[in-house]
């Protein structure tokens, strides 16, 4: 659900924002793969969030299953982002850190917004037999995958200057807070 939350803007926008601030030659292929995976996750999160926002209890279990199917794709993309970003890629340069953090910066409000939507729609999911059980499962799975990615983000972020690590910790804290609210709302 972090991917739900966490958590996301279209890839073209994210990549154009990165291109404006970072020269692509300053980003290694391995770091670019991480960025691309985060962007792919962001795109799928947007699809999930759109489906959640449109959901009403009148749509029934078929619509809830559609959201769950979209979440499964999101979970797969989030796992790939975790694998791609957690790979041993050596020291991250400051331009690479800039590129990754600006991609994450785009993602965070999408994650928090999606998780907020899940909380807001709880009564609608509760009104459909088994829908809340699916949502709970999805929140827990996405939270686990997001924590893996968050751990890598923090571990690979340069500590000098300290502003990089402060930014990364801030993004992780926002996402953790949104997941905490969703888990509390759903009794997870």
115: how many CB neighbours lie within 10 A of its CB? 31
Token pair of 60 as six digits: 């029934």
Instruction: Enter the pTM of the model.
Output: 0.83
SS3 string, 64-95, reads: HHHHHHHHHHHHHHHHHHHHHHHCCCCCCCHH
More confident residue, 94 or 25: 94
Query: Per-residue pLDDT tens for 23-56?
Result: 556 899 999 999 999 999 999 999 999 999 999 9
Query: Per-residue pLDDT tens for 77-89?
Result: 999 999 999 988 7
Whether 69 shows a pLDDT value over 50: the answer reads yes
Token pair of 106 as six digits: 């785009």
Instruction: Give the relative orientation of helices 29-54 and 94-120 as an angle to the nearest 10 degrees.
Output: 10
Any idea where the domains of the chain sit in the sequence?
A: 11-185
């Amino acid at each position: 659900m972090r991917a739900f939350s966490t958590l996301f803007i279209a890839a073209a926008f994210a990549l154009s924002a990165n291109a404006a601030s970072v020269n692509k030659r300053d980003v290694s292929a391995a770091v670019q793969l991480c960025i691309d995976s985060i962007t792919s996750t962001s795109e799928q999160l947007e699809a999930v969030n759109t489906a959640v926002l449109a959901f009403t209890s009148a749509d029934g279990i078929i619509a809830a299953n559609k959201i769950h199917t979209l979440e499964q794709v999101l979970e797969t993309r989030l796992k790939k982002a975790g694998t791609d970003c957690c790979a041993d890629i050596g020291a991250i340069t400051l331009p690479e850190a800039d590129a990754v953090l600006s991609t994450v910066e785009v993602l965070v409000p999408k994650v928090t917004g999606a998780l907020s939507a899940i909380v807001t729609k709880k009564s609608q999911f509760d009104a459909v037999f088994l829908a809340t059980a699916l949502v709970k499962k999805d929140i827990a799975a996405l939270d686990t995958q997001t924590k893996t990615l968050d751990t890598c983000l923090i571990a690979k972020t340069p500590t000098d200057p300290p502003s990089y690590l402060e930014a990364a910790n801030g993004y992780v804290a926002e996402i953790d807070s949104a997941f905490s609210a969703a888990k509390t709302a759903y009794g997870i």
